[in-house]
Amino acid sequence: AQTVTQSQPEMSVQEAETVTLSCTYDTSENNYYLFWYKQPPSRQMILVIRQEAYKQQNATENRFSVNFQKAAKSFSLKISDSQLGDTAMYFCAFMSGGSNYKLTFGKGTLLTVNP
Amino acid sequence: DTGVSQNPRHKITKRGQNVTFRCDPISEHNRLYWYRQTLGQGPEFLTYFQNEAQLEKSRLLSDRFSAERPKGSFSTLEIQRTEQGDSAMYLCASSLGGGAGNTIYFGEGSWLTVV
Question: CA-to-CA distance for B69 and B62, rounded, in angstroms?
Answer: 18
Assess whether pLDDT exceeds 80 at residue B1.
no
Q: How far is B43 from chain A (nearest CA, A)?
A: 6
- Give the confidence band of B107 by pLDDT, cuts at 50, 70, 90: very high
Window 50-109 of A: residues touching B by CB (8 A cutoff) are 50, 52, 91, 93, 95, 97, 100-108
Tally Cβ neighbours within 10 Å of residue B51: 12
> Does the beta-carbon distance from A4 to B107 stay under 8 Å?
no
Assess whether pLDDT exceeds 70 at residue B101.
no
pLDDT at position B97: 74
With an 8 Å Cβ cutoff, the interface of chain B facing chain A consists of 3-4, 31, 33, 35, 40-45, 48, 55-56, 91, 98-100, 103-109
Cα B57 to Cα A27, B17, B38, B48, B90, distances in angstroms: 21, 23, 18, 7, 15
Contact A88, A39 (CB under 8 A): yes
Around B1, how many Cα atoms within 13 Å sit in the side-chain half-sphere?
A: 9
Which residue in chain A is spatially nearest to B4 when comparing CA positions?
A44
What does the pLDDT look like over A36-78, one tens digit per residue?
999 998 788 999 999 999 988 999 999 999 999 999 999 999 9
Which residue in chain B is spatially nearest to A99 when comparing CA positions?
B99
pLDDT at position A96: 86
